[in-house]
Structure 1
Amino acid sequence: MSLEAKEDSEKTPEWTLPLNPIMLQGFEWHVPADQNHWKRLQKALPNLKDIGVDNIWIPPGCKGMESNGTGYDVYDLYDVGEFYQKGSRATRWGSKETLHELVQSAQDLDVGIIWDTVLNHKAGADFTEKFPAVKVDPENRNTVISEPEEISAWVGFDFPGRKGKYSSMKYHYRHFNGVDWDESRKENAIYKVADPQGQWSQDVSNEHGNYDYLMFANLDQSHPEVRADLFNWAEWIGTEFALSGMRIDAAKHYSAAFQRDFVDHLRKTVGENYLLVGEYWRGEVEYLLNYLKIMEGRVSLFDVPLLGQISETSQTAGGDLRKIFKGTLVEHSPGHAVTFVGNHDTQPGQSLETTVVPFFKPIAYALILLRSQGQPCVFYGDLYGLHGGPNPLKCRSCKERLPILMRARKLYAYGEQRDYFDKRNCIGFVRYGNVMYPYGLACVISNTTAAYKRMYVGRRHKGEEWSDILGWCLETVIIDNRGYGVFPVAAKSVSVWVHERAWGRKSLTRPL
């Protein structure tokens, strides 16, 4: 059955999650800063669709504080490569025209585009302003450590290149609650605006006492003019481009109540079925669950605790595979969990660098792609490799086999799941298939020596020959009369076993 097969003949609503959805993070930090990334993704679209990608999370397409800014250093939300500002018309990723072409080509292939939404701060101001501020303790931002004093900070934004198109809003110091630089004294510190309205949001992460302030000029989303402009931008971007959803950057750093209202406004005005995924970076699942409670379940979250477990287990000789999902979001709230093995912030040299030992990456991807819980997100750097940075870990086996695992999710990872998490260093699970996708699969994982696991795949499969689609085990397994198979796995490896008749198709292993 083809990847494009749908459930019955009735057309599903636009952007309803497809069968066994796969999200791709469509960038890494070191892709060339050549203003051609939108074209690069557009060229890759047919192949990405072929291996099962349903949604592509693209980097922030807004103008940054400099010509090669990533968009996380957001200067102007309304400039997506249309206006000559900050030394360039196009953004680091491309022009507005090539962005439109990417989104249209994706829509033609029924691939969604998820916009990376940066609403926490602004950078690259056009001029400084003077205003009273107090210093706060960087380790406890609730503690004021100075008297109010006048500082000069980069908080004036008038977007001269755009000249008021799409929004007449100009930003001034009253629209921010914190900065980290006093231009008059050339001093770096965390300053809170000493204005009756200049307060930290209370419904943010409690790290450093209050983690509202992150970087640059910190937006005050409680200010009515800021709130109105961000809502207006949401309508504009959702009308300008046919998006499937948004990633909410830095979700722990600004008001969760505002985010809830923002999500409601989005779904009311431009995207009833928008996929909303928050980046709430905490390693303890209770914080993620509390955020979801405030958000009333309106968004999904990246499963940061699971990535922590994957990283630790991969680096621990003989680590206990049975506990890899313990204390994770996918364990506690699988319907809200976006599972992942790495991203731009966790790659080598980045702020949240998280090591996953190369041999373990195919194992980790099998665990997020082939199981019934969670929605997986594949990292561009794992699919195509990293283009640079400090000593990136090479994982050729991941790059070669990841497309196979992605397609296997689309072809075989259906139906009831049975776990064989009975040995510390060798675990397995079976997917039994369903009426539309009847074949099913058997997955075995070892993080030490070669091993095997006897698992039940069903009496209806008796006498069948099953093979490892990843090619690490070359023998075949015969299913016995009771529906059991004894499935081997190589040392520090994963094997995915399916019926010979199901996987004998050359296209399954076609490289990118």
Structure 2
Amino acid sequence: MNGVIIQYFHWYYSGSLWNEFSGQAELLKNLGFTAVWFPPATKCSLGKDGRGYDTYDPYDLGEFDQKGGIPTRYGTKEEYLAAIQKAHEAGLSVYADIVLNHRMGGDEEENITVHEVSSEDRNQVLTAPMEASAFTRFTFPGRQGKYSDFIWDHQCFSGIDIITQNGEKKEGIFKIHNEYGTDWTDAVSHQFGNYDYLMGADIEYRNPYVVQEMKNWIRWYFETTKVDGIRLDALKHISSDFLKEWITYIKTELDPDCYILGEFWKDEAEKISYFSDKMDDLISCFDAPLHYNFFEASKEGRNYDLSQILKGSFLEKKPVFSVSFVENHDTQQLQALESSVQDWFKPLAYAVILLSEDAYPCVFYPDLFGAEYTDIRDDQEINITIPKVEALPKLLEARQKLAHGEQVNYFDHPNCIAWIRKGNPDNSGCIVILSNGDEGFKEINIGQEYAHFKYRDFLEHRNEEISADENGKATFRVNPGSVSVWYSFSPETN
């Protein structure tokens, strides 16, 4: 089966996500999806205003009265578990979003020793060690020790971004002095000198008690939720030594079939590949370089060389371990990594990830359902509308019905490319053709066994029928700035 993930959320989603999904699980299955990636289900420091990435209590899935109430932004624990059950009943796998890097919203202040570092080079020390207080003690009073009595304190964290001295709050990046050292771990990205610190109270994975607690927690999470896989956030900031140990524990002790997908956000496939190799290919990774190719192609229009659309992508480098996407919650408009692919190019981008042989594609919620939201930038209210990608349901259908067999590329023109999916004994194939300029065409010899076969555009962007000659050769066309998916039917069935 040609697997497809749906990222079932976006940054500005508001509403009862778990309940909404429960009502749409069958629809998603019928559209061709095989897996759903849910946002983090854990209680946030901002309560219902959090998106799940400001993790407070990983054992609270919307069960305890903490941080302003019982539900998370997306609903209650009961609703979350019901949504997973609905997914399984529909035959969909569930990937849970897991935040390992930090905690936020500490319950109590502690007196700690810190030194400040430069935000541009975290190895550059700006101050001598100094005494301060910070919210580094997490006791979870609303949960009262249920599921775990582990208390997090400053020995569990390596850095913090807010301290108090002499009654005055200070913001910056402060390295916490604990019994595991006064330096950052070296087993992380070396961007900004050392990218161990990202936000909040940065978890100290050199602490063996923390490592054991995270093993205990993930066992509890799997037993409680019955999820089929996990998506791991912000991996370039987390100790790769810890990750390897923790993931190996999951694969050997909990679920050898657990699908693990990592966000190692780099625009260079070589660096993602290096990380993947370091993890002994235990996890897959998002293909950020391919997303940036789509972003640039959509901006440059006909000036972009379509024949290079896969160049430098993780899909090209390690296809078995890549997950391709067009947009996500970080790249959508008004977000920190904003690199939104323009609307006209999205059908072409989705054709690339949905109809290519090796891709494991992930579809973004607003591209399927549309989205409207508002945010404030520079003291101005900005309204954003993301329209549905109208061709997306047909492209999903084409993936299931037509995108089978060996792929042969015709990436031989800067404004018009095509590829064949040859099909197999049980499934027919197709010819996919894209143009980012004028109307384009490709003359392709499918093979003599297809002599006199006729072809139609599955997307119905082109209305004509195309006939192959006695040698199985035909000319396939595509509209300006568009995509067509040509499929064959034998003369006898015409």
TM-score by length of 2: 0.95
RMSD: 1.5
Q: Deviations over 1:134-172 (max 9, x none)?
A: 001111101111010011111110001111111110111
Q: Which amino acid aligns with 2:63?
A: E
Q: Deviations over 1:291-344 (max 9, x none)?
A: 011101110000011111111111113200011111111111111110100100
Q: Deviations over 1:202-229 (max 9, x none)?
A: 1111110000100011001111111111
- 2:482 is the counterpart of 1:497: no
8 A Cα contact 1:133 1:195, kept in partner = no
Measure how far apart 1:194 and its partner are.
2.2
Q: Unaligned stretches of 5+ in structure 2?
A: 375-381
Listed as ranges, the matches of 1:17-28 within 5 Å are 19-28=1-10
8 A Cα contact 2:109 2:134, kept in partner = yes
Q: How far, CA to CA, are the matches of 1:181 and 1:205 in structure 2?
A: 23
Which residue number in structure 2 is paired with residue 313 of structure 1?
Answer: 297
- 2:83 is the counterpart of 1:98: no
Listed as ranges, the matches of 1:45-84 within 5 Å are 45-68=25-48, 69-84=50-65
Q: Which amino acid aligns with 2:474?
A: G
Measure how far apart 1:395 and its partner are.
4.2
SS in 1 for 2:97: strand
8 A Cα contact 1:336 1:374, kept in partner = no
Q: How far, CA to CA, are the matches of 2:396 and 2:244 in structure 1?
A: 32
Q: Which amino acid aligns with 2:305?
A: D
Identity percentage over the alignment?
Answer: 37
Measure how far apart 1:500 and its partner are.
5.2
Which residue number in structure 2 is paired with residue 379 of structure 1?
Answer: 364
Q: Which amino acid aligns with 2:280?
A: E
Which residue number in structure 2 is paired with residue 408 of structure 1?
Answer: 398
Q: 2:148 aligns with which of 164, 167, 178?
A: 167
Q: Which amino acid aligns with 1:482?
A: N
SS in 1 for 2:324: strand
SS in 1 for 2:411: strand
Measure how far apart 1:431 and its partner are.
0.3
Which residue number in structure 1 is paired with residue 377 of structure 2?
Answer: none
SS in 2 for 1:422: coil
Q: 2:431 aligns with which of 434, 442, 445?
A: 442
Q: Which amino acid aligns with 1:182?
A: I
Q: Which amino acid aligns with 1:83?
A: F
Q: How far, CA to CA, are the matches of 1:26 and 1:76 in structure 2?
A: 22
Q: How far, CA to CA, are the matches of 2:349 and 2:383 in structure 1?
A: 21
8 A Cα contact 1:442 1:457, kept in partner = no
- 2:111 is the counterpart of 1:130: yes
Q: How far, CA to CA, are the matches of 2:298 and 2:476 in structure 1?
A: 22
SS in 2 for 1:125: coil
Q: How far, CA to CA, are the matches of 2:138 and 2:125 in structure 1?
A: 27
Q: How far, CA to CA, are the matches of 1:29 and 1:195 in structure 2?
A: 35
8 A Cα contact 1:341 1:364, kept in partner = yes
Q: How far, CA to CA, are the matches of 1:83 and 1:335 in structure 2?
A: 40
SS in 1 for 2:363: strand
Which residue number in structure 2 is paired with residue 279 of structure 1?
Answer: 263
Which residue number in structure 1 is paired with residue 378 of structure 2?
Answer: none
8 A Cα contact 2:371 2:387, kept in partner = no
Which residue number in structure 1 is paired with residue 189 of structure 2?
Answer: 205
Q: Deviations over 1:261-290 (max 9, x none)?
A: 111111223221111111000101121011
Q: Which amino acid aligns with 1:494?
A: V
8 A Cα contact 2:437 2:480, kept in partner = yes
Measure how far apart 1:196 and its partner are.
4.1
8 A Cα contact 1:359 1:395, kept in partner = no
Which residue number in structure 2 is paired with residue 355 of structure 1?
Answer: 340
SS in 2 for 1:234: helix
Q: How far, CA to CA, are the matches of 2:38 and 2:192 in structure 1?
A: 30
- 2:415 is the counterpart of 1:425: yes
8 A Cα contact 2:407 2:419, kept in partner = yes
Q: How far, CA to CA, are the matches of 1:333 and 1:392 in structure 2?
A: 35
Measure how far apart 1:195 and its partner are.
2.9
SS in 2 for 1:499: strand
Q: How far, CA to CA, are the matches of 1:386 and 1:261 in structure 2?
A: 39
- 2:448 is the counterpart of 1:463: no
SS in 1 for 2:294: helix
- In structure 2, relative to structure 1, the CA distance for the partners of 1:501 and 1:43 (3 Å cut) is farther
SS in 2 for 1:423: coil
8 A Cα contact 1:257 1:294, kept in partner = no
8 A Cα contact 1:123 1:216, kept in partner = yes
Q: How far, CA to CA, are the matches of 2:243 and 2:397 in structure 1?
A: 35
Listed as ranges, the matches of 1:108-257 within 5 Å are 108-184=89-165, 185-198=168-181, 199-257=183-241
Measure how far apart 1:67 and its partner are.
2.1
Q: Which amino acid aligns with 1:145?
A: L
SS in 1 for 2:236: helix
- In structure 2, relative to structure 1, the CA distance for the partners of 1:352 and 1:178 (3 Å cut) is same
Which residue number in structure 1 is paired with residue 474 of structure 2?
Answer: 485
SS in 2 for 1:473: coil
Q: How far, CA to CA, are the matches of 2:20 and 2:401 in structure 1?
A: 27
Q: Which amino acid aligns with 1:167?
A: S
Measure how far apart 1:349 and its partner are.
0.5
8 A Cα contact 2:373 2:385, kept in partner = no
Q: Deviations over 1:430-462 (max 9, x none)?
A: 10100121x200011000111111123333332
Q: How far, CA to CA, are the matches of 2:246 and 2:447 in structure 1?
A: 48
Q: How far, CA to CA, are the matches of 1:56 and 1:269 in structure 2?
A: 24
SS in 1 for 2:412: strand
- 2:303 is the counterpart of 1:324: no
Q: How far, CA to CA, are the matches of 2:26 and 2:124 in structure 1?
A: 54
TM-score by length of 1: 0.91
Between the two proteins, the alignment pairs up a number of residues equal to: 480
Measure how far apart 1:429 and its partner are.
0.4
Measure how far apart 1:391 and its partner are.
4.7
Which residue number in structure 2 is paired with residue 388 of structure 1?
Answer: 373
